[in-house]
Chains A and B, each alone.
Chain A
Amino acid sequence: MFTIKELAQPDTLTEAYNLLIAKKNNAVLGGCAFLRMGSYPIATAVDLTKLNLSFIREADDYIEIGAMTTFREIEVSPILQQYANGVLPKAVSHVLGVQFRSVVTVGASVYAKYGFSDLITALLALNAEIELVQGGRMRLAEFLEKPLTKDILSRIWIRKLECRASYQTLRMSASDYPLLNAAVTQTGSHWLVAVGARPRKAAIAQQLSAALSASKIDLEQLDFFANIASEELSFGTNARGTAQYRRAMCKVLIKRAIKEVLMCESV
């Protein structure tokens, strides 16, 4: 179990960031579900609860999600349930049970770039942007490519578009980590496909996204499209499955997702 020597509850994000970088073993507290699995001795724990980062807000063009928002808040948010066929609530609804999802936070989950993340895959397909206190605002896809620096993720933006979406996951049992997950969105003629838990962190299937965006798709061609993603992405082996199995299952999830998108109403 981790230990905490001092606790700081800053009033501004700048103050929080300065506290975080003041010492190597200072750390931000998210929901602490992952932190508690380790035995990290934290010198000063930076608690963000006074910064009002628990929110899901809708503006004309964007949906904005604060870093301390829990997975459960995402799951039951009417704003998110109504946007893009509820792809974000669907993605997080697979993560353990309701009482766990009331604890874990969005900021920590995205910042930590977990390979198995359900949330990151769905956010990638929505072309989300994130904001870091020091690193500034950038696309999530760009953030995932950068080396991890000590920073605080404060919020996430999703541009509101006429978007249809599907989220698919394969798990060995209901509450286990995903063996593989995929999210597909269609905005007008533009498609975006993301695959995660490969088991490496989620990535956009660029070639497949481009191919779908350039074609008029019919259900007969699904095998052809699904093959593109399974060939262009790399897959690895861990306790839950081999690279070969993941590659094969990737085709299945992508086919299901494209089919679902083609059949669903845009929201």
Chain B
Amino acid sequence: MRISVTINDKMVHLDVEFDEFLADALRKHGFFSIRKGCDTSCCGLCTVWVDGRPTLSCSVLAFRVDGKTITTIEGVQQEAEQFAQILAAEGAEQCGFCSPGFIMTVLAMKKELTQPTEEQIIHYLTGNLCRCTGYMGQLRAVKMYLGGTA
């Protein structure tokens, strides 16, 4: 089946199987920032934006994004780099495998919530697992990125 999607502001036509998930379709198309950590909808590593909303690309059938807008971390490079630098400075990135998905969720949160409380931040980021850092460094980095102090 042929679908047309706007990926990072560029219209793309993809040939996808009915049972192919978006994460696989995007990786096939060269978007290797998309990672699969669990493939059971639990870890958030595969997060991309579909029409601006953070979504698990491992769990959305590719044909369903026909006509929609997809944003991967390649599409928000500048903001992603800015936040990634803070993450690294806070020691909140070790192997880095979880980072693309985590960053996409943090950037979505920034667009959606105005001055979120610590509780709101933690709640919003519950779906992003990290097996290295223990989350406190990430929380510090997020707070700094959002303009406060850690």
Chain A residues in contact with chain B, CB under 8 A? Answer: 1-7, 29, 31-33, 36-37, 42, 45, 47, 49, 72, 93, 96-100, 102-103, 174-175
Contacts and interface: CB of A to CB of B under 8 A. Distances in A.
Contacts of B124: 97-98
A97 B41 CA distance: 9
Nearest to A36: B59
B138 interface: no
Contacts of A6: 18
Given A29-B61, A31-B59, A96 B42 contact: yes
Contact of A100 (B18, B50, B64, B127): B127
Interface string B88-132: 000000000000000001001000000000000001111110000
A100 B41 contact: yes
A96 B127 contact: yes
A2 B127 contact: no
B63 A7 contact: yes
A2 B19 contact: yes
B126 A96 contact: yes
Given A93-B123, A174-B126, A100 B59 contact: yes
Given A1-B19, A4-B19, A6-B18, A99 B61 contact: no
B96 to A, nearest CB: 19
B55 interface: yes
Contacts of A97: 44, 105, 124-128
Interface residues of B, number: 28
Contacts of B60: 31-32, 103
Mostly, the A contact residues are: mixed
Interface of B: 1, 17-19, 21, 40-42, 44, 47, 50, 53-56, 59-61, 63-64, 105, 108, 123-128
A29 B41 CA distance: 16
A37 B41 CA distance: 9
B19 A33 contact: no
A45 to B, nearest CB: 6
Nearest to B128: A97
Contacts of B105: 97-99
Contact of A37 (B1, B18, B19, B40): B40
Contact of B127 (A1, A49, A175): A175
B18 to A, nearest CB: 4
B54 A36 contact: no
A47 B93 CA distance: 40
Nearest to B125: A97
Nearest to B55: A102
Nearest to A103: B59
B42 A102 contact: no
26 contacts: A1-B19, A7-B63, A29-B61, A31-B60, A33-B59, A36-B40, A37-B40, A45-B18, A72-B53, A96-B42, A96-B126, A96-B127, A97-B44, A97-B127, A97-B128, A98-B124, A99-B55, A99-B56, A99-B127, A100-B42, A100-B56, A102-B50, A102-B55, A102-B56, A103-B41, A103-B60
